[in-house]
Every structure is written in structure tokens, then in C-alpha cells.
Amino acid sequence: MHTKLAQLERRLGEIDELLAREEATRDMERFKALSRERAEIEPVVARFQDYNRAAADLVGAQEMLSDPDMKVLAEEETHVARGKMETLEADLQRLLLPKDPNDDRNIFLEIRAGTGGDESALFAGDLLRMYLRYAERQHWQSEMISESASDLGGYKEVIVRVIGAGAYSKLKFESGGHRVQRVPETEAQGRIHTSACTVAVLPEADDINDVKIDPTEIRIDVYRASGAGGQHVNKTESAVRITHLPTGLVVECQDDRSQHKNKERALKILAARIKDQQLRAQQAKEASTRRSLIGSGDRSERIRTYNFPQGRVTDHRINLTLYKIEQIMDGDLDELTAALTAEHQAELLAALGEA
């Protein structure tokens, strides 16, 4: 680890020298790439320098131990320095973990009602509000991409684009089955019902680098939009359905009056789904040698239960139960996301230790 950190320290010096040159901004793409690399390296190097200072303090304190007049002070400084070094070493281990290249991406958030009929659709609406409130707390933006409303409110299916730095890193562990236990408003006997929704969090694909969609491998159908819209619905074929023939993936988009915009949105969602499929295939391959607790992205896996009568939310992957369901449903997800991230980092550290 020390060798790797020393290399990063040298690299930071090289980057600073390159950025300080007069001609640095002539090639803006290279300038941006170097600036991004510096932003990633600098926090690691700063911690490494703090660690080296603490190590130097430890050596100085141990040298004083032989002086009887300084022994008490030396022992105290030795204890402080060792404590700092342990904390900084743990920080450095986390900072050196492999970075998910998708962490800083925007996402497509897809929520689908599952078992439970109308109550499941209502819960899908509640989950959407929860995530949108969380996005507001993070100062992210959101954009409705596609929605299929249910008769009593809520959604059979809804897709939202969330735009913000770190959106995927914070929400990538939300993919999977979400179960709710509560008394529906339509339940006259007061009985608790159980229903479920599935959530998919897809990193937005980079149009240039990530997913190449061969035009010969997709079929595009246009049709008249259904639902609200008056005469426009009956006269204009603005809805778009795109089928990706190699994978069988199908994306429909009809929320905009413009066929062109619906097609553009559908292609973006398709690219994100293809990318997600590739990611899950890669994760499955890695999991064949090591089972990861988190991040499998299996939509059929039940990951969380929201029990309203008991006021609790339980994440089954990390056995975490929080008795703050109202706050969580209002978008206070920080404790959940932090715990899931910490567990994932522990898994990565364990994997590195076994390597």
C-alpha cells in the first residue's frame, strides 16, 4: 500500500507541473482529464501526508521515552500518534478501493408495481415520492420519462431520470424487491396486507463511449398514445416502441407529444438497460468466485421490508432495522445508504485481503 501511495504522491506532483505550464489549456480535453485525475488523487495524497506526519511524530515520541523527565509526555504522544495512524490507515484503505466508474453518473430510476394489485401501485407512488424527496435533499434534479398510472392513484410503472453528481453511487443498492406491510385505505376490516414493487437503478449510458446500438438490430414501432390527451391522442402517432432484437429488451415511451423526443428518450433508456445487463453479467461472473452481499442487482431478490404498523424498515441484506419509517418515506435515506456503502466497502476490503 505504501508503494502505491508514494506513486500517487509523485503523480500528483507531475500533474501539478503539467497544469502549471503556459500551454496547458491549449488542449482542453487533456486539461480536463488531468484536472479530473488531480481531483481523484489529491484527497488520497493529503491523507498519506497526514499519515507520514503522524509516523514522524511517533518516532519523535519514542526517542523521548529514554528521558525519565519526558517519559509521561512521550507515552501520551506515542498513544496519540498511533491512534492517528490507525484511523488514517483505515481511511487510506477505503480511498484505495477500486472505484466504480459509474458512481458519478446520472441514473434512470424504474419502479414497477408487483404483487398486491392496487395497493402495490399505490406503494410504487410512495417509493417514487421517497426517492424524489431524497433527490431534493441532495440538490439533484429529476425528470419524468415515462409513467403508467393506476386507476386508484400510484403507478403500474414509472421511469424517472435523476440528474446529479454521485446519483448512482448513492442509489445503486436500491435495485431489487421492496415489500410493504400495511393496512390499505380500502381495507374495511383493518387487516394488514403485503404487497411488493421492484426497483431498478440504471446508470445513464454515455452516448459516445458506453453502448453502441446497431441500427440494424432494433425495430422501431410508432403508434397512437393512450390515456389523457384529448383529440391529440386519436390523431397523432407520437408513441414509440423500440425492440432490441439481440436481447429482446423492449422500451416504450409516449409521454411527450413529439415522436422525435419519445424516440430519443426511449433510445437513452434502452442504452441504460443494455449497460445494466452488461454490468449484471459481469457481477454474476465475479460472484461465481465470491458471493457479494450487496449489489447483485437481482430484481427478484427481496431487499427491504417497510412495515407500517410497527413503524420499521428492515434491509435484509445487512440485517439493519430502523424504526423511523415516516422519515425514510419522506426521503431521509442517509442512514440506509451509508450502511449499505460501508458494508460494500467491507466486502471489497475482504476480497482484497483474500486476493
Q: Which of 59-68, 183-192, 240-249, 320-329 has the lowest mean pLDDT?
A: 183-192
Contact 125/153 with Cβ under 8 angstroms?
yes
Buried b (16+ CB within 10 A) or exposed e, 163-202: ebeebbbbbbbbbbbbbbebebeeeeeeeeeebbbbbbbb
Contact 28/69 with Cβ under 8 angstroms?
no
**Element containing residue 315 per DSSP (H, E):** strand 312-315
Q: Is residue 228 very low, low, confident or very high in pLDDT (cuts 50, 70, 90)?
A: very low
pLDDT for 294 equals 61
Domain ranges of the chain: 2-95, 107-209+295-350, 215-277
**DSSP line for 21-73:** STTTTTSHHHHHHHHHHHHHHHHHHHHHHHHHHHHHHHHHHHHHTT-GGGHHH
Per-residue model confidence as pLDDT tens digits over 82-95: 999 999 988 888 78
C-alpha 139/C-alpha 133 separation (Å) is: 10
**Element containing residue 186 per DSSP (H, E):** none
pLDDT for 227 equals 55
C-alpha 68/C-alpha 61 separation (Å) is: 13
Of residues 226 and 134, the one with the higher pLDDT is: 134
Of residues 79 and 36, the one with the higher pLDDT is: 79
- 107-209+295-350 and 215-277 in the same fold: no
Contact 330/82 with Cβ under 8 angstroms?
no
Of residues 79 and 285, the one with the higher pLDDT is: 79
Region 146-157 average pLDDT: 88
CATH top class, domain 107-209+295-350: alpha beta
Region 58-84 average pLDDT: 91
| 63, pLDDT greater than 50 | yes
C-alpha 273/C-alpha 265 separation (Å) is: 12
Q: Which of 109-113, 255-259, 295-299, 342-346 has the lowest mean pLDDT?
A: 295-299
Please give the CATH number for the structural domain made up of 2-95. 1.20.58
C-alpha 316/C-alpha 301 separation (Å) is: 10
Q: Which of 55, 50, 56, 57 is nearest to 73 (CA)?
A: 57
- Maximum separation of any 2 CA atoms in the chain, in Å: 95
pLDDT for 90 equals 84
Region 317-333 average pLDDT: 96
C-alpha 252/C-alpha 314 separation (Å) is: 33
Contact 192/102 with Cβ under 8 angstroms?
no
Count CB-CB contacts under 10 A for residue 68: 7
Q: How many residues does the chain have?
A: 355
- 215-277, CATH topology level: Double Stranded RNA Binding Domain (3.30.160)
Q: Which of 20-24, 202-206, 234-238, 250-254 has the lowest mean pLDDT?
A: 234-238
Contact 234/165 with Cβ under 8 angstroms?
no
pLDDT for 81 equals 92
